Structure 1
Amino acid sequence: MRPRFSRGVITIAIIVIVLAVGISVGLYHLLKSAPRLAAVPDAYCTVNTPGGGVSLLPEQAQISATIAAVAARRRLPERAVVIAYATALQESKLQNLGFGDRDSVGVFQQRESQGWGTKKQLQDPVYATNKFFAALVKVKNYRKIPLAEAAQAVQRSAGGYAYAPHESDAKILAAAFTGRVPQSVHCWYPPGKTPTPKAKATEARKQLARALGSVAITTKKRGWLVAAWSVAHAEKYALNRVGYSGATWSNNLEVEGWEAGGAAGDQRVELS
């Protein structure tokens, strides 16, 4: 004789089975998606202009911004910035290296033994960039001669031909970091840092002034230079937002680039 079950028992059994299946499916999808949820990317920066795009590490973006700021302080043309970028890309990949061939160090791999400065000085990107530009402006017709020839006249490298292949990327970087092409620099760093205290923004402006001189915004191009510098240094100074001329950059992984809104005027770059 087969056992008989009441409708209530059968109903409860069905509910239990449905719940078990639902929980199993839910756990499956949760576990399946867990690696993706945990895979937070590393900090990065991108530069996008009509001439093309370049991907950078935050340190590379910071050095690029510093080179452009020093050039602006010295009132140098964009061609000088292009030459500096191509040189730095070849010598250090736009990184502030503490080592190199023999006693070469820093962004431009300058040597203490050749009179460029002390090792400590040469690992200061502002100092190293000033020394590079001081030598570059002494090169006759540096604005018109081939880039590799101008760079080699400064560096006196064993392989001066190696600078030329970097000219295309150098032009993209120069267009962005000099401020000539607005809204072209974007960076992102992993969340978790507290909102920027006022002191952080103050320190950022202080360090910018060291490279640029006055941080006063006298032209829109200069304003976009300051904005690009600020975005490049966002991780270093825990900046979550930069606003200028009706556009805003924010440290948001879901937003790639600048959005409309924010600071409406052209006389100040807002940091927060």
Structure 2
Amino acid sequence: MRGTVITGVAVAGVLAVVVGTGVATVVGQSEQPANQVRLASCNASLGPITTGPAGSGAEAAANLTGEQRGTVAAIIQIGQQRELPPLAWQVAIQAGMTESGLRSLSYGDRDSLGIFQMRPSMGWGTPQQVTDPTYAINKFYDVLLDIDGWEGQRPGDSAQDVERSAFPDRYHRWESMAAHLIGDVGQVANFTGCGQGVGNLLPAPTAAAGSAIQWALGQQGKPYQWGALVNQQNSYDCSSLMLQSYRSAGIQLPRTSREQYRAGALLPLEQAQPGDMLFWARDTSDPSTIHHVAMYLGDNKIVEAQQTGVPVHIRPLKFTEGGLMAQAVRPGV
């Protein structure tokens, strides 16, 4: 843990999103809208489902030692006693796993100690306090609760806001494991409220888009793997998720995101409908620099295979995001 600031930390990035239960009005093509379905009310950006197929975190959780599971149980118990939501427990589990492997260490970088590698020299407490699990967990929660908007962002981002690490992305690695432990140890089923597998689906303008959306949402919780094979469904990168989703709907796409940008009708970004593909580039004036693709779900949300350590997930979209191309692509048109 870096000890520069432990209170009043600015929150970056993702805004709070609650997915409504109403079915969005969609302007379809000539056929009647098919597969008119909806997503149950939930905060879908806050993590993967708690149980599910490969990548759901069960395997990583099964490898924890008794000491590590004891730390998880303490994090959950103290969170329950303080009447904190399960998301707070997840943030603490991900931070503790990243910083110490969920162990109360008597050593660390410089004077960092304990489960969360708190530094006495930076005001976290005495060495005796920060190596006491009960104190450390409560202190972590105290700082987390002082972060404005922590409940509206991914748990790994909130862990970083507490820890202030020089490696902010590393907390995402344990997202699916932490979510699984909340269901397993904390006995809280489906705490994101987003269902399992395909669950409750989103509105689709056409039969093909509806099938592609259903298929993509059914992969939530599965791990990211760069260059993932397109003849298996154990892991995905961004373009393989799009390829297989639309292949399930009878539409063939090329393999890479740059090629997929040319594989349908281009339309202005603001006219995107559920099922359309959105693209990110290093230079938005040059399609040859495209490096990421995701599926638009309507209501300013996308489903994507984002990066190593982050399972397939739904997240909120800002149309002002850096690198977002000004055109969407409608496959099969």
> TM-score if structure 1 supplies the norm length?
0.47
Structure of higher CA gyration radius: 1
TM-score by length of 2: 0.39
Q: Which structure dedicates a bigger proportion of its chain to helix?
A: 1
